[in-house]
Structure 1
């Protein structure tokens, strides 16, 4: 089985209402608005800030996930391997996973909260997931993402570059929301 990549570009200095109008003009399908809370952890034996990895638990409403993000693969986008697994639903389950990770030596680093408006768009033969994010303590961002096989990474990245140009998105941000919040502290 071929593994997949998350090919992603994030943009800052954006006007979300303008981008949303442009997406409507391109036929993007709205997928709703959700509040996301991510809690990131530090590894007990290696420095994720040095290895460019991340481990988080995410809560969206009553639903929970655990996610590992590998190091970025290129110097242009935020492309990386990602493993995301569903967890038991509910706030209590989220707290129990937090406790489990802490007992294994992982330490909570920072919580990231955002309001995310999601869209899907067919673009140049790809399905693009678009997120209009309002991140607490950071502001507005747009994320464009394609999930694809490793061998199609360059083609997917080029398609996202053309979509970004079409939407007038120029200021690429390769740092994660966690990195931006930690640098702001």
Structure 2
């Protein structure tokens, strides 16, 4: 499966919540997430446009690989995510193991995520509102799709985003935005 998503800077959270309610979206439980991104020992993920991270959601842990973004309006990329043992100790042990294998922690991204599920035009969307530490408020619209369904999924996200009044997607990841912000403030 491929992840198809668009991300937007969110100017008015209340307006989006009202629109989601009108669509009949179901709000899931808020999540505190921490993503620890790693650099590869021999491959430059910034050049290959890949990402490798460990994510903590409460006490739940996941390891995720994200492949290069395809050149489309939406962000389309291969994503492989696997759960591993819960708890802080397991998170720290996997971090240590990766470091011993030559991976290096790059940066953490912390956010409060409010997920919603929504049926729209016979598709099941995941819509999230993210309060990202150091960046602000964002909304994401996401679908999972097979290769043969990519164009339809991309079009469906573009249509739903426009319906919700979101017209300027951001292709840069939260990690990329934070690094860019730190680079800019370091040069000031």
Compute the TM-score of the two structures, normalised by the length of structure 2. Answer: 0.95
Equivalent of 1:25 in 19, 22, 28: 22
Q: Does 1:120 align with 2:120?
A: no
2:90 to 78, 89, 93: 93
Instruction: Name the stretch that deviates more: 94-103 or 71-80.
Output: 71-80
SS in 1 for 2:30: strand
SS at match of 1:32: coil
Q: 1:142-161 CA distances to partner (integer Å, 9 max, x unpaired)?
A: 00000011110100110111
Shift of 1:123: 1.1
CA distance in 1: counterparts of 2:158 and 2:113, whole angstroms? 21
Specify the alignment match of 1:14 in structure 2: 11
In the other structure, the counterpart of 1:184 is 181
**Contact 1:13–1:171 (CA under 8 A) maintained in structure 2:** no
Q: Structure 1-normalised TM-score?
A: 0.96
- CA distance in 2 between partners of 1:21 and 1:178 (Å): 29
What SS does the aligned partner of 1:20 have?
helix
Partner of 1:184: helix, strand, or coil? helix
Shift of 1:13: 4.1
* 1:38 counterpart residue number: 35
Runs ≥4 residues deviating over 4 A: none
| 1:90-118 deviation digits (Å, cap 9, x = unpaired) | 00000001001111100001000000000
2:129 and 2:11 mapped to 1: Cα distance? 9
State how 1:70-149 maps to structure 2 within 5 Å: 70-149=67-146
In 2, Cα distance between equivalents of 1:8 and 1:36: 19
Other structure's SS at 1:92 match: helix
- Paired with 1:74 and 1:153, the residues of 2 have a C-alpha distance of 12
Q: In the aligned structure 1, how far is the partner of 2:127 from the partner of 2:167? A: 15
Partner Cα distance (2:14, 2:169) in 1: 19
Unaligned runs of 5+ in 2: 183-188
Aligned equivalents of 1:13 and 1:91: distance in 2? Answer: 31
Q: CA RMSD in A?
A: 0.8
* 1: CA distance, partners of 2:28 / 2:21: 12
Aligned length: 182
